[in-house]
A and B are shown apart, each in its own frame.
Chain A
Amino acid sequence: MIDATGMPQSAVLLGGTSEIGLEVLGALASRRLERVVLAGRDPAALGPAGERLERAGVREIHLVSCDVGRSDDLERLLGEAETALGSVDLLVVATGLLGTAELDRLTPAVVQEMFAANASGPAAATAGFAQRMASQGYGRIVVLSSVAGLRVRRANFVYGAGKAALDGFALGLADALAGTGVGVTIVRPGFVRTRMTAGMKPAPLSSEPADVARAVLGALEADRGVVYVPPALGPAFLLLRLLPRSVFRRLPG
């Protein structure tokens, strides 16, 4: 169940090896989290992820192999999560693939894989869990979106376009879920230092996975629908979105 301070007891992490996702679950483990399903496409990497959560105090950990690009995997995940956890209090959607934005490398397969990891896969999974949560009468979905989706930039436009789709999907889903007892929290970080951004020059206002985890817990406590990490990115992107395209295009980075 989810308590009055927004803290869940069971959770599914989609993108079971995500650094940000694991940091969020670790923080929740110090509150009320007891049971977890880690869903990821690399079974070998899921083991150590599970051990990390065990050390953080999670009592029960289930590993499910799942590629979000495959709908049969998603169907199986929905069933296995229900069997393992009984009811799913929280879904954390943390799959993502920065991939490439170089025109030469954007083959149909590459673009499709990126949209699967950033948009269609997580959207499909989220819809499936949302249905089940609505019928169980409660639940919370945390979607890791990104400021990259708020105004798509040349530098990562395929990733950004995927995030834009997912963010819009999550906003609409939140409205569709009104009155069901299921809530959606959309998290929009800027640059976070994880393996996804390894080797890249940190953008201004960069943060650590622990900052994202703190922000997510704060949003759950206050029952907030959208949260920026760091918060200053909210007003900054409000302005960036208003810039004419000719100016925006010339911004550095």
Chain B
Amino acid sequence: MSASGRRLLAGWGGRPASSAEVVCPATTGEAAAVVARAADEQGPVLARGLGRSYGDAASSAGGTVLDLTGLDQVLGFDESSGLLRAEAGISVEGLLRFSVPRGFFVPVTPGTRQVTLGGAIAADVHGKNHHLDGSLGAWVRSIRLATPAGERLLAPAGEGAGFWATVGGMGLTGVVLDATLELVPIETSYMLVDTERGADLDECMSLMSERDEEYRYSVAWIDCLKGGSGLGRGVLTRANHAGLADLRAAAPRRAGAPLSFSPRQVARVPVTPPFRLPSALAVTAFNEVWFRKAPRRRTGELQSLGAYFHPLDGVGSWNRLYGPAGFTQYQFVVPFGAEAVVREVVEALGARGVPSLLAVLKRFGAADPAPLSFPAPGWTLALDLPLSVPGLGELLDGFDELVASHGGRVYFAKDGRLRPELVSEMYPRLEDWRRACDDLDPARVFQSDLSRRLHLRKA
């Protein structure tokens, strides 16, 4: 076991922070041993990946946190079926470095490569392809889970309750040691991207509704500071994997190495400045430039995987720009038919002048069977919001009520401030999940600051 000790932990948003005993197992056996001893330990136990959840999901104050990023080995790969087995601490970047040169892509990737397989399963992450491909859980074939009573091999088929409680279960059923995932075949490491501008929110939404099915990947970036007739204007970028023939036609010189993959970080924010940068003025200016520079319409543009899927990864530790007060991401989904909720939220943010640099709009497809999984058919909007904005908490509380009353929900992986009373309304199958979770961990050894704040493990 390498380094261990008391450390202050926070999510990607920087707040809240709490301290815990962090242990860094070097093998899955060591991780399982820590879990086996967990019942005798004082305090809760929790797995942590790369800490890319925004709030308190990967912290456990006063407890033992297993940092699994040392467990990053690929354990097996079958080219004919595309099935890959890997340790839970491998990052999506690590998976891609292994699989892309072999002609395979991860079935679902979040907006950053810097998440672990375990963290991605625990949040049942979604990507730009949710409308067609669902969330990650649909592609996981098996999970090896460490619980205080020993190891369990979980699969979606048959009874499946433990598997689906672990998918989207925010680390509260146990520690994922490794998992088997189905990868999707690709011919090149390039995307064919169509870009379109939507003059306002309605136009963005109708453009997405009309032709989303023609694209495997689809997302829109929305400007939340533009009021008036341009309210909710945005840029849609939709794409499919480029085939070998596409690459030969578009960039014959690159066709020699169609599966090259070498993502780079071009810059890094070295320290947290003592103040926050994204002021309303700066964000307004940024949004204007970014909207203007997008073409009204452009089709068939060739982009690398990294440029299309993970543009933010080009700048390391960009979260530090929000300064010591930190930031949060508010992500919700509302069913189709409740478009007015999205509009109302965008309007309220614009009216208050809350500087949201990144607002991402997406259409979700069918949900998977996991009771705590976030995605459900409808519209999802994700907003990065600086916590230094006075009264932000009350504003978001208002959004919660609106979202819940329309049958929507917020995403635990992004949350740091939801009102606990709303959880069972937003996640109506919470009790099913609690039962399955208690079956795997009857002593409720696994707790996070998120689960304690939202009373997830007890009513």
- Listed in ascending order, the chain A residues whose CB lies under 8 Å from chain B are 1-7, 9, 31-32, 87, 134-138, 179-181, 218, 221-223
Contacts and interface: CB of A to CB of B under 8 A. Distances in A.
Nearest to A182: B19
A1 B62 contact: no
Contacts of B15: 4, 6, 223
Q: Which of under 10, 10 to 19, 20 to 34, or 35 or more describes the interface residues of B? A: 20 to 34
Contacts of B61: 1, 87, 136-138, 181
A9 B418 CA distance: 12
B449 A179 contact: no
B158 interface: no
Contacts of A136: 61-62
A1 B449 contact: yes
Interface stretch (B33-41, B260-268, B323-331): B323-331
Contacts of B449: 1, 138
Contacts of A222: 325, 387-388, 390
Contact of A1 (B388, B390, B452): B452
Given A5-B416, A138-B19, 19 more contacts: A1-B56, A3-B16, A4-B13, A4-B55, A4-B56, A4-B387, A31-B393, A31-B397, A135-B62, A137-B18, A137-B62, A137-B63, A138-B18, A138-B61, A181-B8, A221-B390, A221-B392, A223-B15, A223-B326
21 contacts: A1-B453, A3-B55, A3-B416, A4-B13, A4-B15, A4-B16, A5-B387, A5-B393, A87-B62, A134-B19, A137-B62, A138-B17, A138-B18, A179-B8, A180-B8, A181-B18, A221-B390, A221-B392, A222-B387, A223-B324, A223-B326
B356 to A, nearest CB: 16
A7 B393 contact: yes
B393 A221 contact: yes
Given A5-B387, A138-B17, A181-B17, A223 B8 contact: no
Nearest to A134: B19
A221 B18 contact: no
Given A7-B417, A180-B8, A1 B16 contact: yes
Q: Which 3 A-B residue pairs are closest in the complex by CB-CB distance?
A: A4-B416, A137-B61, A5-B393
A96 B394 CA distance: 32
Interface string B313-328: 0000000000011101
A62 B55 CA distance: 30
B419 interface: yes
Given A138-B61, A222-B388, A3 B19 contact: no
Interface in B8-29: 8, 13, 15-20
Interface string B375-393: 0000000000001101011
B66 to A, nearest CB: 16
Contacts, number: 80
B453 A9 contact: yes
A135 B63 CA distance: 10
A5 B20 contact: no
Nearest to A217: B393
B18 A5 contact: no
A4 B328 contact: yes
A223 B325 contact: yes
A2 B8 contact: no
Contacts of B63: 137
A181 B19 contact: yes
Contacts of B325: 222-223
Contacts of A134: 19
Contacts of A4: 13, 15-16, 55-56, 326, 328, 387, 416-417
Nearest to A1: B453
A64 B8 CA distance: 32
Contacts of A6: 15-16
Nearest to A218: B390
Contacts of A223: 15, 324-326
Contact of B20 (A3, A137, A179): A137
A87, A134, A136, A221, most chain B CB atoms within 10 A: A221
A179 B5 CA distance: 13
A87 B61 CA distance: 10
B416 to A, nearest CB: 3
A134 B452 CA distance: 18
B15, B61, B387, B394: most-surrounded residue (chain A CB, <10 A): B61
Contacts of B324: 223
Interface in B255-308: none
Nearest to B419: A32
B248 to A, nearest CB: 49
B327 to A, nearest CB: 9
Contacts of A180: 8, 19
A87 B393 CA distance: 23
A105 B137 CA distance: 75
A5 B62 contact: no
A135 B20 CA distance: 9
B417 to A, nearest CB: 4
B19 A137 contact: yes
A2 B416 CA distance: 9
Contacts of B55: 3-4
Contacts of B17: 138, 181
A6 B390 CA distance: 12
Contacts of B452: 1
A138 B16 contact: yes
B8 to A, nearest CB: 5
Nearest to B327: A4
Contacts of A32: 419
A5 B453 contact: no
Nearest to A183: B17
A231 B39 CA distance: 50
Nearest to B11: A4
Interface string B394-417: 100100000000000000000011
Nearest to A34: B420
Contacts of B328: 4-5
Interface centre among B16, B419, B452, B453 (most CB of A within 10 A): B16
Contacts of B416: 3-5
A33 B388 CA distance: 21
A31 B393 CA distance: 8
B8 A3 contact: no
